[in-house]
Structure 1
Amino acid sequence: MKKNKLLTVMLIILAALLLLGVIFYVLLTKLNNEPEEKEASIEEIVLASVDIPEITTNLKDGHYARMQLKIQTDSEDAAGELTQRIFQVNNIVIQELSEMTEEDLQGKQGKVLFEKAIKAQVNELMQAGEVQKVYMTSFIIQ
């Protein structure tokens, strides 16, 4: 009788430990699998983007730059706000370019730094969303 009782208690303890282990494993895997952000489709990106008309302005060193930009926002509402703020974006771009030389804009790194500067300054203006990326769609220095 003692042997049966001891075996039953051991099986109950073993089953309880096994159940706790399974619960612990499930909880860990669920908590570690954070939901991945859904990658936006190209249609969504286009709807949340704004074309900035061609801008021509003098650079600090006497050369001039001509460029067009496309600015991607995080939502259609933000794109609507940005459309209304195009004059402010133009002003930011002109001011930024007026402090740069032809050499500052040479190569990939110079263009990336310029895009980051524009993004940061435009984001300071935005109220309905934020800028995610600034693209140069046309660029000439003379």
Structure 2
Amino acid sequence: MKNKMLTIMLIILVTILLVGVIALVVIFKLDDKDAEAKEPSIEEVIEASVDIPEITTNLSGNDYIRISFKVQTDSKEAKEELEKRVFQVNNVIIEELSEMKSSELEGKKGKQTIENTVKEKVNALMQEGKVEKVYITSMMIQ
């Protein structure tokens, strides 16, 4: 009777241990898939990005700016839509820059401000997908 009870306890303990190990493996595998899905490769980024040609416009005040962007979208469909909307993106950029002074665009914070503003405004225009990130590829203020 004692041996039978010990055998049953060992079977239950091994079963619980196996279920725990299987649960941990499943959890770690799901985390790996989520991490891979969050970070696209550089090829995927380039494939879903659109170059916005250089724009020259006046800033608020007597200065002017020459600036160009690369806009990263979340899919190829969004890229295709954005390519058709380049004229609207140019309009958004010119409108936003015309309200800014050169001092507001200086430094890292100023560049992030214009990138975030363009991203928000362009996302409001988009119907297929969305803009993930806006990069300034060149900028000169005079």
TM-score relative to the length of structure 1:
0.89
Following superposition, the deviation at residue 22 of structure 1 comes to: 2.0
Deviations 1:74-103 (A, max 9, x none): 111111000011111011101110111000
Amino acid at match of 1:115: E
Q: Residue 10 of structure 1: which of 3, 6, 9 is its match?
A: 6
Following superposition, the deviation at residue 42 of structure 1 comes to: 2.5
How far apart in 1 are the matches of 2:100 and 2:132? 23
Following superposition, the deviation at residue 104 of structure 1 comes to: 0.4
Does structure 1 residue 24 correspond to structure 2 residue 25? Answer: no
Following superposition, the deviation at residue 32 of structure 1 comes to: 4.5
Amino acid at match of 2:110: G
Structure 1 partner of 2:130: 130
Following superposition, the deviation at residue 61 of structure 1 comes to: 1.9
Bigger mean CA offset, 64-73 vs 7-16: 7-16
TM-score relative to the length of structure 2:
0.89
Q: Is the partner of 2:120 in helix, strand or coil? A: helix
Does structure 1 residue 61 correspond to structure 2 residue 61? Answer: yes
In structure 1, list runs of 5 or more residues that go unmatched: none
Deviations 1:19-40 (A, max 9, x none): 1122023213422542222443
Bigger mean CA offset, 118-127 vs 99-108: 118-127
How far apart in 1 are the matches of 2:41 and 2:23? 32
Amino acid at match of 1:13: M
In structure 2, list runs of 5 or more residues that go unmatched: none
Bigger Rg, structure 1 or 2: 1
Deviations 1:85-142 (A, max 9, x none): 1111011101110111000000111101110111111111112111111111111111
How far apart in 2 are the matches of 1:32 and 1:12? 31
CA RMSD between the two structures: 1.5
How far apart in 2 are the matches of 1:17 and 1:44? 47
What does 1:90-109 align with in structure 2 at a 5 Å threshold? 90-109=90-109
What does 1:78-97 align with in structure 2 at a 5 Å threshold? 78-97=78-97
